[in-house]
């Protein structure tokens, strides 16, 4: 570690109060999703912050009042040195009216060595640490030879994938860090996709005809869509158990690949036989799988289940998968993310972590999902690495440890400097 960067790392300790103040400022912007459509002021603050540090700003509306911000600091020798994307979401989890917070969740405060407030762990702590690292580099007059791209995106909490739009807009780099909640672990992730399975009758029957459908000699070929959906649910349970036995992934708990029947909607009135039933499912899959593969497996299995039933054979279930927003179209996709532990970016990040914390970095798999999968799917080597414990994310009195936030800021400061000073295609292991 150079003397110059060592001095900047010491600055993080000396100016810890400024770092905390920056995090508090970010938390004070009320950006819960749902309801969403509330990030404009926060994103203008981020854009202004980056602009003052020499970044060019690209800002556009993903949804009304919910813009993405991408700041680009072009390197002096951008073609010869590594580029880096730092990515984080500005939206935070919703706050329920019945949640028993000690104080207003958007009036952050310090208690027992932690900053408390909605978004402290997920993930304004990560954003604040990255922004403060950038501030210190700027104030010291450090000119990076490689390019640095900062993405503050919207919609992660409700599957609106602001990060996907950044990828579609053409932003690329040699490496990316998603500064989401990871307890300072370097992580990949499994994927998530939601889907709707619909069972629908071509005919509608009065409730009084039920006897003719279910008793001997009735001779009316009809069925309740709700009752037939129970066969679909049983089929999903069978497939889930099969996956649990037949599939696994290193460093993930067995059976992490789940099929959750989350919401069921059906029937129109008590005087009718239910002619339609819709099931909303959430599917978690492993990092080495794709949502296209998972869709194929589920549809094939459920259609086999349907084929064994005389009514479902003629009224097969219909499938709708994914979506761009849990608010707008009630669907989402989070692609999986595998990381290469031997990638030079991973190795340099491990080295920076160990140098700062005096602990070996833990490389594993997140039990939840982030926008990292979109960056990985765009061909950008990506890891999740951020402060905060998942048990505090989305929780009442959400908080992040100040000690961990300070350590994280130091690691990012060191990594940004070293990575953007490393020539492309050159592996340097600290």
Q: What is the CATH number of the domain that holds 354?
A: 3.40.630.10
**Phi, psi torsion values for 309, nearest 5 degrees:** -110, 125
pLDDT of residue 212: 87
Clarify whether residues 47 and 159 are in a common domain. Answer: yes
Clarify whether residues 305 and 274 are in a common domain. Answer: yes
Clarify whether residues 22 and 139 are in a common domain. Answer: yes
DSSP string, 336-405: -B---TTSHHHHHHHHHHHHHHSSPPPEEEESS--THHHHHHTT--EEE--SS-TTTTTSTT-EEEHHHH
pLDDT of residue 127: 98
Clarify whether residues 42 and 97 are in a common domain. Answer: yes
Cα torsion 218, 223, 226, 229: sign: positive
Q: Is position 425 within any domain? A: no
Domain termination site, one of 269, 296, 321: 321
Clarify whether residues 124 and 114 are in a common domain. Answer: yes
Q: Is position 170 within any domain? A: yes
Flag whether pLDDT at 402 surpasses 90.
yes
Flag whether pLDDT at 426 surpasses 70.
no
Confidence of residue 208 (pLDDT cuts 50, 70, 90): confident
pLDDT digits (tens, 9 = 90+) for 259-294: 999 999 999 999 999 999 999 999 999 999 999 999
- In 3D, which of 283, 122, 252 has the Cα closest to residue 189? 252
pLDDT digits (tens, 9 = 90+) for 27-72: 999 999 999 999 999 999 999 999 999 999 999 999 999 999 999 9
Clarify whether residues 268 and 395 are in a common domain. Answer: no
Q: What angle do CA 257, 258, 262 make, to 5 degrees?
A: 150
Clarify whether residues 225 and 297 are in a common domain. Answer: yes
Q: Is position 426 within any domain? A: no
Average pLDDT over residues 231-240: 98
Average pLDDT over residues 323-331: 95
pLDDT of residue 428: 45
pLDDT of residue 62: 98
The total number of structural domains in the chain stands at 2
pLDDT of residue 427: 47
**Among 26-30, 204-208, 363-367, the least confident range:** 204-208
Q: What are the distances in angstroms from CA 253 to CA 59, 247, 374?
A: 40, 11, 23
Residue with tokens 């295609």: 425
Q: Assign residue 236 the CATH number of its domain.
A: 3.30.70.360
pLDDT digits (tens, 9 = 90+) for 124-176: 999 999 999 999 999 999 999 999 999 999 999 999 989 999 999 999 999 99
Q: Is position 427 within any domain? A: no
Clarify whether residues 180 and 201 are in a common domain. Answer: no
Confidence of residue 1 (pLDDT cuts 50, 70, 90): low
pLDDT digits (tens, 9 = 90+) for 72-129: 999 999 999 999 999 999 999 999 999 999 999 999 999 999 999 999 999 999 999 9
Active site residue 13: no
Active site residue 207: no
Query: Who has greater pLDDT, 209 or 216?
Result: 209
- Percent with pLDDT over 70 in the chain: 99
pLDDT of residue 219: 81
- Domain, as residue range, for 155: 3-189+337-420
Clarify whether residues 232 and 277 are in a common domain. Answer: yes
Is the pTM higher than 0.85? The answer reads yes
Q: Is position 66 within any domain? A: yes
pLDDT of residue 429: 42
Domain termination site, one of 286, 321, 356: 321
Q: Out of 91, 157, 180, 275, which one is annotated catalytic?
A: 91
Q: Is position 429 within any domain? A: no
Flag whether pLDDT at 430 surpasses 70.
no
Clarify whether residues 112 and 145 are in a common domain. Answer: yes
Q: Out of 156, 157, 398, 418, which one is annotated catalytic?
A: 156
Q: Is position 428 within any domain? A: no
Q: Is position 330 within any domain? A: no
Clarify whether residues 249 and 397 are in a common domain. Answer: no
Domain termination site, one of 321, 355, 383: 321
Clarify whether residues 31 and 161 are in a common domain. Answer: yes
Structure tokens at 204: 């509608």
Q: How far apart are the first and last CA of the chain?
A: 9
What is the chain's mean pLDDT, rounded? 96
- Percent with pLDDT over 90 in the chain: 92
């Amino acid at each position: 570690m150079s003397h110059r960067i060592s001095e900047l790392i010491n600055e993080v300790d000396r100016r810890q109060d400024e770092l905390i103040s920056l995090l508090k400022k970010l938390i004070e912007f009320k950006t819960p999703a749902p309801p969403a459509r509330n990030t404009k002021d926060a994103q203008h603050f981020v854009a202004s912050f980056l602009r003052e540090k020499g970044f060019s700003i690209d800002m556009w509306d993903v949804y009304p009042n919910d813009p993405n911000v991408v700041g680009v600091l072009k390197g002096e020798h951008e073609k010869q040195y590594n580029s880096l994307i730092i990515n984080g979401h500005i939206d935070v989890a919703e706050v329920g009216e019945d949640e028993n917070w000690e104080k207003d969740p958007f009036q952050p405060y310090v208690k027992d060595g932690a900053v408390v407030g909605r978004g402290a762990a997920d993930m304004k702590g990560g954003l604040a640490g990255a922004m403060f690292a950038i501030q210190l580099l700027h104030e010291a007059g450090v000119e990076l030879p490689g390019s640095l791209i900062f993405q503050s995106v919207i919609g992660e909490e409700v599957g609106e994938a602001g990060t996907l739009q950044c990828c579609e807009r053409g932003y690329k780099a040699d490496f990316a860090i998603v500064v989401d909640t990871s307890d300072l672990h370097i992580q990949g992730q499994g994927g998530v996709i939601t889907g709707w399975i619909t069972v629908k009758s071509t005919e509608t029957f009065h409730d009084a005809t039920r006897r003719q459908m279910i008793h001997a000699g009735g001779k009316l070929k009809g069925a309740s869509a709700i009752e037939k959906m129970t066969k679909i649910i049983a089929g999903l349970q069978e497939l889930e158990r099969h996956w649990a036995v037949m599939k696994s992934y290193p460093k993930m708990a067995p059976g992490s690949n789940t099929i959750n029947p989350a919401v069921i909607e059906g029937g129109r009135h008590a005087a009718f036989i239910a002619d339609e039933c819709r099931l909303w499912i959430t599917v978690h899959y492993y990092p080495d799988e794709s949502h296209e593969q998972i869709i194929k497996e589920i549809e094939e299995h459920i259609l086999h289940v349907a084929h064994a039933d005389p009514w479902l054979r003629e009224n097969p279930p219909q499938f709708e998968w994914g979506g761009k927003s849990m608010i707008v179209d009630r669907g989402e996709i989070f692609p999986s993310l595998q990381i290469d532990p031997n990638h030079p970016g991973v190795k340099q990040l491990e080295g920076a972590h160990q140098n700062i914390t005096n602990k070996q970095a833990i490389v594993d798999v997140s039990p939840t999902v982030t926008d990292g999968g979109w960056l990985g799917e765009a061909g950008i080597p990506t890891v999740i690495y951020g402060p905060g414990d998942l048990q505090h994310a989305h929780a009442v009195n959400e908080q992040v440890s100040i000690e961990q936030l300070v350590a994280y800021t130091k690691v990012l400061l060191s990594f940004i400097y070293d990575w953007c000073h490393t020539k492309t295609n050159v592996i340097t292991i600290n």
